[in-house]
């Protein structure tokens, strides 16, 4: 049982990582980005191409991919989301759904249905592990992913709390009209927030490629897990996203230990139970984030 808990927490780190951008974009721009998973897969393909075909070292692939995806985020916000947001709340959701279709089919056109992986680029890291007392084995890659998730979420939180652009992002999220009255260009701030989101998506996409295989249509399950982690943790809360990811990861690993089909069923079941509980008891919405903040303060 201890092993399931440890593996579940580490898996939760990956879910928090993939959900981080979705939660950030929702909290800042109130947009549910249905292209989130497809963008993560596109980032994985970009790193794959740079690594396998351009033969660049992985760190260089990552830096190039981050830059390219940040620019893509800026353009997506200015050309698609900013315009569609003027048409009401539904239009950006439909726009991102359309964007995911375009990305998936473009990737299929370019790369075909073959599965790919970045495992060859990281060598032993993809399978190596540490042995802990009590016969526990923890993979080095899952630990790296978990640590990255915590660092990324903490970094985003610090950025939002203590930097000039962070304050502008929070002000724009709270009241874009009043933000304009204090000199904030809400369009520019949202474009910066979209670029930051795509940086987190790139990191998630890279780890997706390292820990598993991917193909052009892998975005949908990534979006589903990200969505579940975000909602469990309290949509829009960064620390809640980490809690949501861990809860989802624990549910899946514990479910898998009970039944071969339990992995997905347990995850979806916990998601639905928490979603229902949230609707019935609205105060639950901020509980995971509160618990994590209290734990961090202790």
Token pair 């992913």 is found at: 145
Query: Considering beta carbons, is residue 1 or 181 the nearer one to another protein?
Result: 181
Of 49, 98, 125, 180, the residue at the interface with another protein (CB under 8 A) is 180
Q: Considering only the stretches 16-24, 86-94, 179-187, 274-282, report the one whose residues sit in contact with another protein under the rule CB under 8 A.
A: 179-187
Which of 3, 1, 2, 10 has its CA nearest to residue 249? Answer: 10
Query: Considering beta carbons, is residue 140 or 170 the nearer one to another protein?
Result: 170
Of 175, 221, 272, 275, the residue at the interface with another protein (CB under 8 A) is 175
CA distance 93 to 139: 37
Query: Considering beta carbons, is residue 9 or 169 the nearer one to another protein?
Result: 169
Which of 176, 283, 271 has its CA nearest to residue 224? Answer: 271
Contact flag: residue 185 with another protein (CB under 8 A)? yes
User: Which parts of 112-184 fold into alpha helices (H)?
Assistant: 119-122, 140-162, 164-174, 176-181
CA distance 223 to 32: 11
**Contact at 8 Å (CB) between 224 and 34?**
no
Which of 111, 90, 70 has its CA nearest to residue 216? Answer: 111
**Contact at 8 Å (CB) between 251 and 9?**
no
Contact flag: residue 297 with another protein (CB under 8 A)? no
Residue 80 tokens read as 């698609």
Q: Considering only the stretches 10-18, 52-60, 171-179, 196-204, report the one whose residues sit in contact with another protein under the rule CB under 8 A.
A: 171-179
Query: Considering beta carbons, is residue 188 or 278 the nearer one to another protein?
Result: 188
CA distance 294 to 230: 19
CA distance 274 to 243: 13
Q: Considering only the stretches 71-79, 110-118, 182-190, 276-284, report the one whose residues sit in contact with another protein under the rule CB under 8 A.
A: 182-190
Q: Considering only the stretches 22-30, 69-77, 110-118, 172-180, report the one whose residues sit in contact with another protein under the rule CB under 8 A.
A: 172-180
Contact flag: residue 28 with another protein (CB under 8 A)? no
Of 56, 93, 144, 171, the residue at the interface with another protein (CB under 8 A) is 171
Q: Considering only the stretches 100-108, 140-148, 175-183, 265-273, report the one whose residues sit in contact with another protein under the rule CB under 8 A.
A: 175-183
Of 34, 46, 85, 184, the residue at the interface with another protein (CB under 8 A) is 184
Residues with Cβ within 8 Å of 281's Cβ and at least 6 positions away in sequence, in order, are none
DSSP state of 214: B
CA distance 187 to 180: 10
Contact flag: residue 164 with another protein (CB under 8 A)? yes
Q: Considering only the stretches 13-21, 74-82, 184-192, 290-298, report the one whose residues sit in contact with another protein under the rule CB under 8 A.
A: 184-192
CA distance 192 to 165: 9
Contact flag: residue 75 with another protein (CB under 8 A)? no
Of 178, 221, 276, 281, the residue at the interface with another protein (CB under 8 A) is 178
**Contact at 8 Å (CB) between 230 and 244?**
yes
Determine the longest span between alpha carbons in the chain, in angstroms.
61
Contact flag: residue 170 with another protein (CB under 8 A)? yes
Of 1, 182, 280, 298, the residue at the interface with another protein (CB under 8 A) is 182
Q: Which of residues 222-281 bind another protein (CB under 8 A)?
A: none
Contact flag: residue 167 with another protein (CB under 8 A)? yes
Q: Could you list the residues that contact another protein (CB under 8 A)? A: 164, 167-168, 170-171, 174-175, 177-186
């Amino acid at each position: 049982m201890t092993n399931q808990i440890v593996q579940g927490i580490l898996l939760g780190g990956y879910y928090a990582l993939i959900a981080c951008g979705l939660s950030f974009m929702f909290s800042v721009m109130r947009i549910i980005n249905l292209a989130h998973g497809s963008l993560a897969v596109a980032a994985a393909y970009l790193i794959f191409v740079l690594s396998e075909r351009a033969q660049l070292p992985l760190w260089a692939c990552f830096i190039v991919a981050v830059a390219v995806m940040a620019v893509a985020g800026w353009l997506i916000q200015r050309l698609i989301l900013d315009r569609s947001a003027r048409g009401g709340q539904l239009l950006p959701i439909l726009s991102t759904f359309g964007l995911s279709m375009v990305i998936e089919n473009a990737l299929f056109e370019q790369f075909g249905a073959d599965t790919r992986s970045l495992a060859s680029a990281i060598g032993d890291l993809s399978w190596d592990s540490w042995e802990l007392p009590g016969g526990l084995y923890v993979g080095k890659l899952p630990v790296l992913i978990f640590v990255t998730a915590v660092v990324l979420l903490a970094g985003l939180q610090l950025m939002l709390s203590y930097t000039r652009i962070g304050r502008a992002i929070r002000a724009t999220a709270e009241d874009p009209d009043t933000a304009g009255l204090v000199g904030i260009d809400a369009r520019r701030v949202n474009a910066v927030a979209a670029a930051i989101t795509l940086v987190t998506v790139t990191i998630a996409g890279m780890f997706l490629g390292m820990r598993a295989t991917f193909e052009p249509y892998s975005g949908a399950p990534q979006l589903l897990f990200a969505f579940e982690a975000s909602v469990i943790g309290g949509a829009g809360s960064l620390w809640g996203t980490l809690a949501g990811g861990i809860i989802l990861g624990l549910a899946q690993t514990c479910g898998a230990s009970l039944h071969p089909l339990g992995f997905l069923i347990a995850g979806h079941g916990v998601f639905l139970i928490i979603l229902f509980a949230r609707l019935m008891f609205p105060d639950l919405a901020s509980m995971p984030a509160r618990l994590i903040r209290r734990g961090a303060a202790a």
